[in-house]
Amino acid sequence: MEHPLTKNIHPDRPPLNLPEYEQTGGYAAVRTAVKNMTPQEVQLRVKDSNLKGRGGAGFNTGMKWSFVPMGPDAPKTKYLIANADEMEPGTFKDRLLLEGNPHQLIEGMIVAAYAIQANISYIFLRWAYKKAAELIRKSIAEAYAKGYLGKNILGSGFCLDMYLHTGVGRYMCGEETALLNALEGKRATPRAKPPFPQISGLFGKPTIVNNVETFCCVPHIVNNGAEWFKSLSHSEDGGTKIYGVSGKVNRPGAWELPMGITMRELLEEYAGGMKNGFRLKGILPGGASTDFLTAQHLDIKMDFTSVAAAGSRLGTGTMIVMDDATCPVGFVHNLQHFFAQESCGWCTPCREGLPWVEKILLSLEKGQGREEDMQLLQMHTQLLGPGNTFCALAPGAMEPLQSALKYFRDDFEHHITEKGCPYNSIR
């Protein structure tokens, strides 16, 4: 089994510096791309590899790049941005890549920037990733010193500057258009689409925003070809995927595995199954803003299409396991508290709806729930849907709630009939 993204990451060793990275074949993709390929060829290869965005939306990366205006009439200034604002609760896969092999990200970004002919790039990093910030700064400096960044890269005539920008810790900044506003120094409020960032992004110029893991795949696709990348996968989505598991399992962690491994394999083989005395109650397969799946779904493949078919989303591919001793109402309340707090306050349904949901769930936990609360919760899951709100934050927040109401309805009702949380006695 190949682990292209993590093969050079070892927990007991600091990440590779530039010479070490080069020794493992690093920056070969930059050389290949800028010297032997046209930007369009790079775009096409990435498109053919069926690399889908690893930030959660799962859109074909090469296709996304192809919407950027190219050629002599295209705007002179274009931007490329790495979304490293990893704030999805339960998600820690980008951190592994950022702290484990920062040059891999930088290389992927250079190739991607070349593919869309962007000359300025930013890494928008989560505020709390202090260690990653330090490593990225050092790696960018090394790449400049070696001529992989800056003017006339490897004599190709292609120029690229790269900057690290650290956020202030807002979940909203993970949404690409809010990220753009934040980067411009404005409030982190999302933008309406269209226009899409590929046309009018940072400072109104064509911009590509991709997730860290997405960029990390790019050098390997350039080096080894689209077919190789597809062959890594167990499903139609190309490549490997960093999967993660958290919760009351024996070995929580993150692993690079073929795209499309089953949830069962991931949970039982890699995470070592549930801890003694705990039974699996539900799984959020791709972070806090995805729908619960349950034990009956364990044999589905962890790829974008299969998880969607089961009624949830692959999201970031880092799953949160909920055990039978954890109150689903309290669990969902915790999530809704987070989402309500992280709403940017721009659109009404999200700004006013999420705090209401949070308050209802808290009242259920306190034993003050009423019959009509079930209806109100249901109403919010229906009305805070995609299209009704300005961006995907509130619809994402409703995913764990709506599925909890579906799979764990009894638990919610018991809170009302028993005027309190039945799990309190278990704990």
Question: What is the contact surface with other proteins in residues (CB under 8 A)?
Answer: 170, 172, 187, 191-192, 194-195, 199-200, 203-204, 340-349, 351-356, 359, 363, 372, 376, 379, 383, 387-390
Distance of CA 296 to the CA centre of its chain: 25
User: Beta strand 207-211 with 161-166: parallel, antiparallel or unpaired?
Assistant: unpaired
Angle at 388 (CA atoms; ends 387, 394), nearest 5 degrees: 95
Nearer to other proteins, 128 or 199 (CB): 199
- Omega before 195 within 30 of 0, i.e. cis: yes
Q: What is the DSSP string of 255-295?
A: EEEETT-BHHIIIIIIS-SBPTT--EEEEEBTBTTS--B-G
318: nearest Cα among 289, 295, 298: 289
Contact predicate 414/422, CB 8 Å: yes
288 residue type, one letter: A
Nearer to other proteins, 12 or 73 (CB): 73
CB of 178 to other proteins, least distance (A): 11
Nearer to other proteins, 77 or 119 (CB): 77
CB of 340 to other proteins, least distance (A): 6
- Omega before 190 within 30 of 0, i.e. cis: no
CB of 172 to other proteins, least distance (A): 8
Q: Which residue has the tokens 């590509």?
A: 208
Nearer to other proteins, 348 or 417 (CB): 348
Contact predicate 338/89, CB 8 Å: yes
CA distance 16 to 4: 15
Token pair recorded at residue 246: 């958290």
Nearer to other proteins, 94 or 358 (CB): 358
CA distance 244 to 76: 40
Nearer to other proteins, 54 or 191 (CB): 191
Distance of CA 133 to the CA centre of its chain: 18
CB of 396 to other proteins, least distance (A): 15
CA distance 47 to 60: 7
Bridge partners, 247 (sequence order): 321
CA distance 179 to 162: 17
Nearer to other proteins, 353 or 396 (CB): 353
CB of 38 to other proteins, least distance (A): 25
CB of 259 to other proteins, least distance (A): 31
CB of 339 to other proteins, least distance (A): 9
CB of 402 to other proteins, least distance (A): 16
CA distance 326 to 248: 10
CB of 389 to other proteins, least distance (A): 7
CA distance 42 to 218: 9
Nearer to other proteins, 283 or 397 (CB): 397
CB of 349 to other proteins, least distance (A): 6
208: nearest Cα among 356, 83, 26, 98: 83
CB of 167 to other proteins, least distance (A): 13
Nearer to other proteins, 25 or 169 (CB): 169
4: nearest Cα among 236, 237, 258: 258
Nearer to other proteins, 115 or 188 (CB): 188
250: nearest Cα among 271, 227, 222: 271
Nearer to other proteins, 373 or 411 (CB): 373
